[in-house]
A = this chain, B = another copy of it.
Amino acid sequence: MAEPIQIGILLYPNVTQLDATGPAQVLSRVPGAQMHMIWKTRDPVPTDAGFSIVPTTTFADCPQLDVVCVPGGGGQVAVMGDPEALDFLRKQAAKARYVTSVCTGSLILGAAGLLKGYKSACHWAWRDMLKDFGATPVAERVVRDRNRISGGGVTAGIDFGLTVAAELAGEEVAKSIQLVLEYDPQPPFDAGSPEKAGPERVKRIYERLAPLLESRCKANAEAAARLN
């Protein structure tokens, strides 16, 4: 019997849960996949959506992963300053086949020093912060640079998941998963990117983010300074 494909998704308090659960849904359907949801302990981890997810393993117990995936979310700032989490990611990344992220998870990879000289996706509102870590932000849904594969904001995790599924098991398997998950998206509105939503709506989001943006920029610069 073939070795299982070890796929691990980082959890942390205040993770944007769909950044994790979208890829988990797709990748758990890859034949031979063994899914891990990882945090420091197995205590339930509160997400941004009002409920908790139970980790399946811990930093200490997690096997070497073939795919390490880091989701984004408000808790990302704390993880960027957490040496234990960054150390776990560095150790896994050293031997993983794919080092991946969804949304602002790429900033965590950046803070772990894993994106220096790489192109990466990120959520549109935070994308430029990748530069602090020597990465090149790319405004695409899924970005690949050597063995780094990254998705854009939140829902991009599903497109990302299918891309990674095709890498792991071939296009035909990925297409079957797409069919079984009925991924034939038909958004009722067309406001899913800054370009499509238009400058007025983008401005309102930035106004809402303003109190966060300054502290996040500072945290990002500090994480980058620790790296050098």
Contact = CB atoms under 8 A, between A and B. Distances in A.
Most chain B CB within 10 A, of A16, A158, A179, is at A179
Contact of A186 (B24, B50, B141): B141
A155 B186 CA distance: 10
Interface stretch (A81-89, A93-101, A191-199, A218-226): A191-199
A49 B23 CA distance: 10
Interface string A38-76: 000000100011111111100000000000000000000
What bracket does the count of chain A residues touching chain B fall in?
35 or more
A145 interface: no
Given A51-B53, A53-B52, A154 B187 contact: no
Contacts of A152: 182
12 contacts: A17-B21, A18-B22, A18-B181, A28-B48, A44-B54, A142-B186, A155-B181, A156-B182, A159-B185, A178-B192, A179-B192, A183-B192
